[in-house]
Amino acid sequence: MSLFKKCSDFTAAEEAIKAGIYPYFHELESKQDIEVIMEGKRRIMLGSNNYLGLTVHPEVMEAAIKAIEKYGTGCSGSRFLNGTLDLHNELEVELADFLGMEAVTTFSTGFQSNLGIISAIAGRHEYILCDRENHASIYDGCRLSYAETIRYRHNDMDDLESKLKKLPLEAGKLIITDGVFSMSGDIAKLPEIVELAEKYNAATMVDDAHGLGVIGEGGRGTASHFGLTDKVDIIMGTFSKSLASLGGFMAAKKYIVDYVRHNSRPFIFSASITPAGCAAALAALRIIKREPERVARLTHLSKYLREKLMENGIAVRESGYSTPIIPFYTYEHTRTLVAAKMLFEEGVYVNPVLPPATAPTECLLRTSLMATHTEEILDEAVEIIARVTKQLP
């Protein structure tokens, strides 16, 4: 069989394009804001992870520009060798202090962070316990490690305990969970996870890509939300969402961070975050510390949109907490693509969520909010969503 037969056999994208319902790679022609220009037309942006609206903040943009003027466009090397700027160290110190952790190290992307952390920490004859709805980067990090990966049902603590019971008490074990789950907006049951970790001699890691800047005291994330910062061993996060840049990080005790810095191949063999990206993330972090009301505003808007959707008969996925990720059901694959296309044409951008990210009969359209949205623009979006969903077969 030809190596590329699977490529020639892949026709799903072409078929969706021909049917006029292909939902991907829409061309953005403006800044990432609450309203954007996509393919020549105004769209209300309800599909961005720019949770605090900082990608267009003047201070963040100015910091990036000044960094380019001082350091140039790139570092041309890995952090391990010639690619460490004083900016990188400054960002790590301030982020560790903000999170209440001993140390932080940064990675070039959020995806790479999970690859680099998990593959370095979990080794042969050790075990990773992974929530079934964890992000794809966590699964790839598990594959890159030599540990045995055991999946447990989403947020099901009985299932997690049943898996832990079967493992040797003295063996190395790492429980990994998203803090805020990226597709559903659910929050991990962190108090129960921490309790089980202590009971069965396991370590804990929280992927807080969608939690940082969203929940917790002043946006400090999931561990802060539950008052468990001192009980979580590793916190991972990204700069591409609330911190308005690109990159990722690991926060942990200093000896754990030092080990990863010297043993993680994705860290050692990748170029460091660009000067502009590092400066933008640092400026965004300082704004979050200075303006915690942005996080409160995001929570208010999340409750507001959820209530407005339900008032208009939209089947919103239930969540125990008002995160800015608010999916609503469209159920079937083609129906979901049609709905996304109709909303796009009517001026609202949302993200379709299809199998394998969902069950075949539970397809979703995922909306996500920014602290800079207004109630008026959300009302406009809800009116369009309600009108479009009523037209669906």
Catalytic site positions = 182, 210, 241
Cα torsion for 68, 25, 180, 149, to the nearest 10°?
Answer: -100
Strand, coil or helix: 349: strand
Q: At 256, list the tokens.
A: 């754990």
Whether 383 contacts 375, CB under 8 Å: no
Q: Strand, helix or coil at 107?
A: strand
Tokens of 192: 């129960």
Beta strand pairing status for 127-131 and 103-107? unpaired
Q: How many CB atoms lie within 10 A of CB 251?
A: 29
Q: Which residues contact 57 (CB under 8 A, 6 or more apart)?
A: 244, 283, 284, 287
Nearest to 117 by CA among 140, 91, 97, 83: 140
CA angle 96, 277, 260 (to 5 degrees): 45
**Assigned token pair, 216:** 């917790």
Buried b (16+ CB within 10 A) or exposed e, 29-53: eeebbbebebeeeebbbbbbbbbbb
Which is nearest to 307 in space by CA: 297, 319, 296, 292? 319
Q: Where are the beta strands (DSSP E) in the chain?
A: 35-38, 41-45, 103-107, 127-131, 148-152, 173-178, 203-207, 234-238, 248-252, 325-331, 348-349, 351-353, 363-368
Write out the H or E segment, with its range, that includes residue 378: helix 375-391
